[in-house]
Amino acid sequence: MSEQDQFRELIEGYAIGALDPNERTALEAHLSEGCPECAKALEEARLLVSQLAYLAPPAEPSEMLKARLLRTVRAESAPAKITEMKSSGRSIPLWLWAGVAALFFLSLYSSWDARKLQNTVQDMKAREAAELKQREQLNQELTLAKHEAWILTDPNSKKIDIMPNDKAMPVLEAVWHPQMGIYITGQKMPMPKGNKVLQLWLIPKAPGSKPMPSHTFWPDANGKITEMVDDPPEVMAQTKALAITEEPAGGSQQPTSTPIWVGGVS
């Protein structure tokens, strides 16, 4: 028997896995040398051996086995599909990308437009607030002007000249209406020195009564005074005179200096 025949006789035993280690090693060495006959014989023998599976008695696996397998396989295939969608540009059509891009820019524009609209609304609100404030101020000025006009023209009003102690100082004028208050005006008034303010006092007629404190005020930059006192602390009939002193900022409850201006009421 040739060496080739000896190897050939081992092929079926090798295919079924029954060779002992020394024979197996020898045959594998022979096969690795590239013997075409033995390689072909082995291929056929392997196929033949696989047919022996039909000798097994028929048996049926449980349905649970299939369910377990499919659950695992589906779980493993899901990430692959996601990855495929992410990595493959062709899996997402161009029109869909275009749609996404359009949606993105539409969202961007909507956001910008909303922001712009919001700013416009805020500007309108600020403008409306400013106009409202201005209107209130005008209303106040109008009301004051009406009061002034009423006080100045009403026959019940009394004109009071408030004379300075220093002849170099200007004369102030007050018009007192019994119900609407005292309206004081003056020109070329000097600005109080330091942190001082001018304060109006009502000197009661009652003997021994203390001066009654009223408004504090300043001349404007042009030295002009227009002060409306709509809540005098005493009625005109009980007041002997009006006096103006210089007082610390915030005013005083009692005069801290000699009056610079004094005007008799009665």
Partner 1 sequence: MTSKYGDDASADAKLVDRFLRRDVSAFEEIYDRHCRMVYSLVVRIVQQAPTAEEVVQDVFLHLWRNAGQYQSARGPFVPWLLTLARNRALDHLRLKSERQRRREDQTEDMPAIAQAPEYEKALDQKRRAERVRSLMGTLSAPQKKAIEMAYFEGLSHSEIANALQEPLGTVKSWIRNGLLRLKEGLQTAS
Interface with partner 1 (CB under 8 A): 9, 12-21, 24, 43-62, 64-66, 68-70, 72-74, 76-77, 80-81
In whole angstroms, how far apart are CA 230 and each of 9, 84, 141, 147, 175? Answer: 134, 86, 14, 9, 11
The pair of structure tokens assigned to 92 is: 């997402």
Give least dist CB 31 to partner 1, A: 11
In whole angstroms, how far apart are CA 1 and each of 14, 37, 194? Answer: 19, 16, 138
Give least dist CB 94 to partner 1, A: 23
Give least dist CB 91 to partner 1, A: 13
What distance in Å separates the CA atoms of residue 248 and residue 246, rounded to the nearest whole number? 7
CA 165 to centroid of chain Cα atoms: 61
Q: Identify which of residues 58 and 250 has a Cβ nearer to partner 1 in the complex.
A: 58
Q: Identify which of residues 33 and 63 has a Cβ nearer to partner 1 in the complex.
A: 63
Q: Identify which of residues 66 and 127 has a Cβ nearer to partner 1 in the complex.
A: 66
Task: Tell me if 225 sits within 8 A of 185, measured CB to CB.
Answer: yes
Task: Tell me if 221 sits within 8 A of 231, measured CB to CB.
Answer: no
Q: Identify which of residues 46 and 158 has a Cβ nearer to partner 1 in the complex.
A: 46
Give least dist CB 23 to partner 1, A: 8
Give least dist CB 37 to partner 1, A: 15
Q: Identify which of residues 85 and 130 has a Cβ nearer to partner 1 in the complex.
A: 85
What distance in Å separates the CA atoms of residue 228 and residue 146, rounded to the nearest whole number? 12
Give least dist CB 114 to partner 1, A: 45
The pair of structure tokens assigned to 115 is: 């922001």
Q: Identify which of residues 65 and 117 has a Cβ nearer to partner 1 in the complex.
A: 65
Task: Tell me if 258 sits within 8 A of 245, measured CB to CB.
Answer: yes
Q: Which of 136, 152, 160, 172 is nearest to 260 (CA)?
A: 172
